[in-house]
Amino acid sequence: MRLVYHQNGGLAVVIADLVPGDPTSAAELAQEIAVTRAERTAEAAAGSSVQLAPGHLYPPATGPITQLFGPTDFNLEFPFTYQSVYYPHFHTGLDIGVGTGTPVRAADAGTVVLAATNTGPDGKPVGYGTYVVIYHGGDLFTLYGHLSQLGVTVGQKVATGQVIGLSGNTGNSSGPHLHFEVRQGQTPVDPLPLIRGSG
């Protein structure tokens, strides 16, 4: 069974190919719904758009890029429609290879709208695992996934470069790293050109 979520502007985003009776895919879907709800609530309160410039964001962690934003053959990634093209596997963020316990920093000032661990029925983390979502105003959000430890709480204001948690290997992860996403209007965008010093 395929679940399709329609975003603003008619862009269809496939969240997941759900396997009937698979509690893990249901838990991952619940996590994506929680992220979307938090983003919509924050956007509704602000009602404006943010223009992103190259180099605008502070590096959330320092390490090698282990997976780029975009289509991939890696089967842990969900199907996704990006710029009107359907991809069977699409990585919606940037993976930065860092050891467990490495400080993860806010890429921009904002307010924490989610700080949680998503677990399956067996109690083990799934999806992003332990993660943080920060709202930066307008329609701009950043997401930090697979953390080993949270360093912030929902509603907390954070400064650019502030430590928000520690990197880890929680959720659907193949090894210790930080999964970093930038979402504009609930649509993932390529983080790499937006990070200072990445060009």
Please give the average per-residue pLDDT across 169-176, as a whole number: 92
Percent of the chain with pLDDT over 70: 73
| pLDDT value at residue 12 | 36
pLDDT band at 27 (very low <50, low <70, confident <90, very high): low
Q: Is the pLDDT of residue 29 over 80?
A: no
- Asked whether residue 28 carries a pLDDT value surpassing 70, the answer given is no
Q: Convert the pLDDT of each residue in 76-124 to its tens digit.
A: 777 878 888 888 888 999 999 999 999 999 999 999 999 999 888 888 8
141 phi and psi, to 5 degrees? Answer: -135, 150
Distance CA 155, CA 149 (A): 17
117-134 tens-digit pLDDT: 988 888 888 889 999 999
- Is the pLDDT score of 49 beyond 70? no
Handedness of CA 158, 116, 138, 195 (dihedral sign): positive
Phi, psi of 35 (to 5 degrees): -65, -45
Give 88-108 as a DSSP string: SSEE-SEEE---TT-EEE-SS
Q: Which two structure tokens, joined as six digits, stand for 90? A: 């699409």
Domain residue limits, the chain: 2-194
Banded pLDDT at 25 (limits 50, 70, 90): low
- Annotation: CATH topology of 2-194: Glucose Permease (Domain IIA) (2.70.70)
Burial class from Cβ neighbours inside 10 Å (0-12, 13-18, 19+) for residue 73 reads exposed
Give the tokens for residue 44: 């509704």
